[in-house]
Chains A and B, each alone.
Chain A
Amino acid sequence: MTMPADRWQLANRLFEEALELPDGARAAFLLTRCQVGHDVRATVERWLDADAEAANFLDKPLVALPRATRATVPTEMPERIGPYRLIEEIGRGGMSVVYRAIRDDQVFDRDVAIKRVAAGVMSAEAHRRFDIERRVLATLDHPWIASVHDGGTTRDGTPYLVMEHVNGEPIDRHCDRLGLHTWQRIVLFRKVCQAVQVCHRNLIVHCDLKPGNILVTQDGTPKLLDFGIVKLLGHDRASGVSSESETVWPRPLTPRYASPEQREGRAISTASDVYALGTLLGELVLGRKGPVENNRSPHQRPPVDLEAIVDRATMVEPAARYGSVEQLSDDLRRHLEGFPVRARGGGIVYRLGRTLRRNAALVSTVLAVTALLAVSSIRTASLADRLAMEKEKLESVESFFRKIFENAGPTGENAELTLRQAVDTERELIDDSFRDQPDARGAIHAILGAIYVDFGDPEQALVLTDEALTLNRDRYGAGSREEVGVLVTRSAALRELRRHDEAAATLQPALAWKPESGTTDMALRVRVLNTHVLNRCYLERYESVERESTQALDLATRYLGPRTLETAAATVQRALILRMTGNDAEAEALYRKGLELFAQNQGESHPYRATLLNNLALIQRDLGDRSAARANLEAADAQYVVAFGRNARQRARPLLALAQHLAQDGLDEEALVHFRTAVEISLASGATDYIIRSAQDLAAFLIERGNCAGGEDLVRASLDAGREAALDSWRYHALASQLGVCLGQTGNIREARLQLTASLEALRRLEAKGEVIATTEAYLAALDDP
């Protein structure tokens, strides 16, 4: 049916020309141009017929574009919108434009960002969407979420939003430009997680998390932007959004960050944000895209943990991802602090390796020592039990564990199998496989019990140690070495469950056990003593373990040597007992030694070392060695910054102590700065206990100076932040009463009275310490009777 090109062109030209003419004139026109019977003329005639006949043919594109979301010719920037003068265009999305603007009347001279619907987009949907974005932003009052100031409609009916102008750069660029370390990136990323959590708590899914929507300001504060395509979950009374709550609007997504369910138009949930965050994390810390890679030396492999975390967050199936942003953030914290991450599911080899590397990384001394012991319990348990086993038993037990390792380890054929699954599978077989070897069965249960304690499942440890106890008792009788080992594990499990009385009681028979000489028995004896001392510390009965703590340290030093964690634990615990029984001088010396042992074991940069430094400094301060105290506090603070970043809540502890130090030196202004920083960091971390404690110290300082001007704002902010979580804590109400005192000092008698009266009532209800109640009463009385 094809025509030669010249005729085709002729037909085309004639057809087009004929179309210009009225219907009646076309035939005559063709006649003048072509002969009758010429195939070009026949063709053109057929086309003209077709054109008349089929006006609607193919008229409607099979695939058309909705005008509303069309990205076409750029919109002209108007000179002004409402009372704002526009300065420049700073962003453009599928259907909106964002300008930097300034308020003309100079009511505030700060820049604002104005977002408005792009020209040509006038749908009711756009209006509705703007309205919802405005309400959403108004609901989300958080320092890391861009706030909305105002909103309205221009004269031509275009809706606009006036928002905080965030002077920052996209988070990925920020990280690269400053060459941030991985841990610094993680710290920053966790803040973003926190902001997203705030959204989710308000039943808002952001749906478009990407670097361009997460800016970082010069001082390192992240800001979440652009709530243009949020999804509202369920009914949200607070935002007043109508019943059409399951709405998500079609809008160009950013495919790199959009979850598979978003891309495919399936149901969206908070898991979709988890996906986007996971993708972002991958870019920030693994350099899965872009320039991060270049900064990394080729020898450094990306950390397996981080890869696991990213993979977990970006699973295709929403249900397979982290259940919440909080869980993602929490796993990152675990990574930072050296704990096994949950993303890796718990292959036993991995978790053992991780835990043994970590050894200890908890915040307070006492808790840290728990971790030390927990770890040593595994090491020593397996070691001691092995050494004590007869050959046959040893072989059985070893083959059992080899099997678990093979199944659960990352090198095994089923790398996904978790420790729990592997153990559960094998456990069912224990009784069958070892029917004739009750001693091996007992040993296996005991070791598994220790493993479970260390891996944070003390309930399971109790079940296992229960079985181990029964088996061992049948085999070895009461009071055997085997039983002692199990009791230590059991006691640790109970302590983890905060059942301290039971933990202490469980250990009693083990304390009565008489070891024979030899390293095996001595190691076990040290474990028993360390466990006992720690149990008593939790019960705040420090004096009662004077002798045991000394003995533990003595045995550990003599039999186990300085390079074991058991020795480090015994040293730090002994120092703690000395400190608590009022022997600061000796405590200080020992603490320093413990610090040294710990560093030998774990290296100088371990975060836990910062905690030890901080505690050492407090002892030195009380001893009057102020310069040493100050140096160690500064060192502790610096180490926390290195380990967890500038906004690590842990910093509050050394900072508060430093602030008090400065206050004593009369350097009030500098002290106030430190107090304020401690409170601000605590507030940013959201950790209620840190917030209240820091604010209490700040308030005490203010009261002492008789002027609450320099910190009233933060005390109030702390009370606000702690309200929900701390309503039942006496500390919260003590802080409230401190605020009352402050107010009274500043002359605000009426509010002071209200504050103090309310606090007093709450403190009485909570049966707070007598002195706290008495102080509050005294201040209240002073107000009434000036």
Chain B
Amino acid sequence: MIESPQEDLTRLLIAWSDGDAAAFDRLAGLVYDRLSRLASAYLRGEREGHTFDTGALVHEAFLRLIQQDRVRWRDRAHFFAISATMMRRILVDRARRSDAAKRGGSVSVALFEDLRTRVPASHPDLLALDDALHDLEVQDAELARLVVMRYFGGLTKDEIAAVLNTSASTVARRWRTARAWLYTYLATSSAKPSGSPSGGNG
């Protein structure tokens, strides 16, 4: 916990953006742990009354994790993208654990209770969304990535465009498609216990 893989991360990030695909898995593993800890720190509370957005989890995590001056701007965007993926995993894992706990586990998961109350009305049930994203990945992996970057990472259109190597306007259009697809998916699967688009509100 004390030793920092900062250098490692920076190196991996550069390697990955230079086309070393294996670097991604290493990068992801390193990042998950740290983001998870960060997420806990934030969710534990210090910022009452706020949603995640002020926490700026991914961004801050990024800045904490790599040496900015050695990484090109475009690669930073890539890193955001990875972080967003990690953040999805973290938040969904938590939601899943919380769900299990509620259904009969004895462990109290204060963390997720906390998280749940902060999710604003426009957000869906995380587990349902995650299921939907899994299906979307099968259909159109890039579109799923876009959703993850946008929704779990808060990346801007420009940043997503940099990662997907396309234009910002294309990202905007694709985003609408993704959103419509997800909305439809969640609405039609709302008979299932995992909830509807507005299922997370109640």
* Chain A residues with a Cβ under 8 A of chain B: 1-3, 8, 12, 15-16, 19, 46-48, 50-51, 53-54, 56-66, 69-74, 92, 94, 250, 252-256, 258, 260, 263-265, 289, 314, 316
Residues of A within 8 A of B197 (CB): 54, 57
Alpha-carbon distance A16/B138, docked complex (angstroms) = 21
Check B22 for interface membership: any CB of A closer than 8 A.
no
Question: Which one of B2, B52, B173, B180 lies within 8 Å of A63 (CB-CB)?
Answer: B52
B176 to A51, Cβ gap below 8 A? Answer: yes
Whether B55 pairs with A53 at a CB distance below 8 angstroms is no
CB distance A8 to B120 under 8 Å? no
14 contacts between A and B (CB under 8 A): A2-B139, A8-B139, A51-B180, A56-B122, A57-B124, A58-B150, A60-B122, A63-B151, A63-B154, A64-B53, A92-B68, A252-B64, A263-B38, A316-B2
Q: Let me know if B154 and A65 touch, CB within 8 A.
A: yes
Contact B42 A265 (CB under 8 A): yes
Contact A1 B180 (CB under 8 A): no
Instruction: Write the B1-45 contact mask toward A (1 if CB under 8 angstroms, else 0).
Output: 110101100000000000000000000000000000110011000
B154-202 interface with A by 8 A CB criterion = 154-156, 173, 176-177, 179-185, 187, 197
Task: List residues of chain B with CB within 8 A of the CB of A62.
Answer: 51-52, 87, 91, 119, 123, 151-152, 154
Q: Which of B57, B91, B124, B184 touches A46 (beta carbons < 8 Å)?
A: B184
Contacts of B87 in A (CB 8 A): 62-63
Known A12-B177, A61-B154; further 20 A-B contacts with Cβ < 8 A: A3-B139, A15-B176, A47-B181, A57-B124, A58-B147, A60-B120, A62-B51, A63-B52, A63-B152, A64-B52, A64-B56, A65-B59, A69-B60, A73-B73, A74-B73, A250-B56, A260-B1, A264-B37, A265-B41, A289-B7
Shortest Cβ distance from B3 into chain A, in angstroms? 8
CB of A61 within 8 A of CB of B64, answer: no
A316→B138 contact, CB < 8 A: no
A71-B68, A255-B65, A263-B64 known; A65+B56 contact, CB < 8 A: yes
Question: Which residues from chain A contact B179 at a C-beta distance below 8 Å?
Answer: 50-51, 54, 57-58
Q: Is the CB of A63 within 8 A of B153?
A: yes
Interface residues of B (CB under 8 A from A): 1-2, 4, 6-7, 37-38, 41-42, 46, 51-60, 63-65, 68-69, 73, 76, 84, 87, 91, 119-120, 122-124, 135, 138-140, 147, 150-156, 173, 176-177, 179-185, 187, 197
Tell me whether A19 and B173 are in contact (CB under 8 A).
yes
Q: A57-B197, A64-B52 are in contact. Are A314 and B152 (CB under 8 A)?
A: no
Identify whether the interface residues of B are mostly helix, strand, loop, or mixed.
helix
- Complex contacts, B181 vs chain A, CB 8 Å: 47, 50
Q: How far is the CB of B7 from chain A (nearest CB, A)?
A: 7
Contact of B59 with A61 in the complex, beta carbons under 8 Å: no
Measured CB to CB, the closest approach of chain B to A320, in angstroms, equals 13
* Contact between chains at A47 and B7 (CB < 8 Å): no
Q: Which 6 A-B pairs have the closest CB atoms?
A: A252-B63, A64-B154, A64-B53, A47-B180, A61-B154, A50-B183
Which chain A positions have C-beta within 8 A of B156?
A: 65
- Give the distance in Å from the alpha carbon of A94 to the alpha carbon of B124 in the complex: 33
* Chain A residues in 8 Å Cβ range of B184: 46-47, 50
Asked if B122 and A94 make an inter-chain contact with CB atoms under 8 angstroms apart, the answer reads no
Q: Which residues of chain A are near B2, meaning CB under 8 Å?
A: 260, 314, 316
Residue of B nearest to A12 (CB): B177
CA distance A437 to B91 in the complex (A): 69
Is the CB–CB distance between B176 and A61 below 8 Å? no
A15 close to B52 (CB less than 8 A): no
Picked from B56, B139, B150, B180, the residue with its CB within 8 Å of the CB of A48 is B180
A638→B171 CA distance, assembly (Å): 69
Contact A50 B187 (CB under 8 A): yes
Beta-carbon nearest neighbor of A275 in chain B: B2
Expressed in whole angstroms, the minimum distance between the Cβ of A308 and any Cβ of chain B is 15
- A3 shortest CB reach to chain B, Å: 7
Q: How far is the CB of B4 from chain A (nearest CB, A)?
A: 4
* Chain B residue contacts of A16, Cβ below 8 A: 173, 176-177
Docked Cα-Cα span, A53 to B179, in Å, equals 11
How far is the CB of B189 from the nearest CB of chain A, in Å?
9
Taking a contact as CB atoms under 8 Å apart, the answer to whether B64 and A258 are in contact is yes
Tell me, rounded to whole Å, the shortest Cβ–Cβ distance linking B69 to chain A. 7
When distances are taken between beta carbons in the complex, the residues of chain B under 8 Å from A50 are 179-181, 183-184, 187
A258, B37: Cα distance in complex, Å: 15
B197 closest partner in A (C-beta): A57
Contact A71 B76 (CB under 8 A): yes
Contact call A54/B183, Cβ cutoff below 8 A: yes
Known: A1-B185, A62-B152. A94 touches B63 (CB 8 A): yes
Which residue from chain A places its CB closest to the CB of B2 in the assembled complex? A314
A74 CA to B73 CA, complexed, in Å: 9
| Residues A53 and B91 in contact, CB atoms below 8 Å apart | no
Q: Which residues of the partner chain B approach A70 to less than 8 Å between Cβ atoms?
A: 59
Q: Output the least CB separation between A147 and chain B (Å).
A: 25
In the complex, residue of chain A having the shortest beta-carbon distance to the beta carbon of B88: A62
Contacts of A3 in B (CB 8 A): 139
Assembly CA distance A595 to B82 (angstroms): 67
Contact, CB under 8 Å: B4 / A61: no
CA distance A680 to B17 in the complex (A): 53
Task: Report whether A72 and B55 are in contact in the complex, using a CB–CB cutoff of 8 Å.
Answer: no
Complex Cα distance, B117 from A313, in Å, reads 39
**Cα distance A70–B1 in the bound complex, in angstroms:** 27
Residues of A within 8 A of B64 (CB): 252-255, 258, 263
CB closest residue in chain A, given B39 = A63
A56-B122, A265-B41 known; A255 vs B177 contact (CB < 8 Å):
no
Closest approach, in angstroms, between the C-beta of B26 and any C-beta of chain A?
18
Bound-complex Cα distance A139 to B99 (A):
54
Most A CB atoms within 10 A — which of B38, B42, B76, B150?
Answer: B150
Chain B residue numbers with a CB within 8 Å of A64 are: 52-53, 56, 154
**Contact with B56, one of A69, A72, A316 (Cβ below 8 angstroms):** A69
Q: How far is the CB of B66 from chain A (nearest CB, A)?
A: 9
| Whole-angstrom distance between the Cβ of A516 and the nearest chain B Cβ | 60
A250 touches B60 (CB 8 A): yes
User: Which residue from chain A places its CB closest to the CB of B123 in the assembled complex?
Assistant: A62
List residues of chain A with CB within 8 A of the CB of B147: 58
In the assembled complex, which residues on chain B have CB atoms less than 8 Å from the CB atom of A264? 37, 41
Residues of chain B with a CB closer than 8 A to A316's CB: 1-2
Tell me how far the C-beta of A43 lies from the nearest C-beta in chain B, rounded to whole angstroms: 8
Q: Which of B41, B60, B91, B152 contacts A252 (CB 8 A)?
A: B60
Once the chains are docked, how many angstroms separate the CA of A69 from the CA of B53? 13
* Inter-chain contacts of A12 with B (CB < 8 A): 140, 177
Cβ contact within 8 Å between B4 and A256 = yes
Contacting residues, chain B, for A60 (C-beta < 8 A): 51, 53, 120, 122-123
A53 to B152, CA, bound (A): 22
Which of A62, A65, A258, A314 has the largest count of B CB atoms less than 10 A from its CB? A62
Residues of A within 8 A of B152 (CB): 61-63
B43: shortest Cβ distance to chain A, in Å?
11
Measured in the bound complex, the distance between the Cα atoms of B139 and A47 in whole Å is 15
Provide the bound-state CA to CA distance between A56 and B91, in Å.
21
Specify which chain A residues have a CB less than 8 angstroms from the CB of B84 in the assembled complex: 63
Residues of B near A94 (CB, < 8 A) are 63
Q: Which residue in chain B gives the minimum CB-CB distance to A74? A: B73
B193 CB to closest chain A CB, in angstroms? 18
In the complex, the answer to whether A65 meets B173 with C-beta atoms within 8 Å is: no
Q: Which residues of B contact A265 (CB under 8 A)?
A: 41-42, 46
Q: CB distance A58 to B176 under 8 Å?
A: no
Which chain A residue shows the least CB distance to B40? A264
Distance of A254 Cα from B42 Cα, bound (Å): 18
Chain B, Cβ-Cβ closest to A250: B60
Query: How many angstroms between the C-alpha atoms of A204 and B174 in the bound complex?
Result: 50
* Distance to closest chain A CB from B137 (angstroms): 10
The residues of B that contact A61 with a CB separation of less than 8 Å are 53, 150-154
Give the docked Cα–Cα distance between A61 and B179 (Å).
12
**Cβ contacts under 8 Å, B54 to chain A:** 66
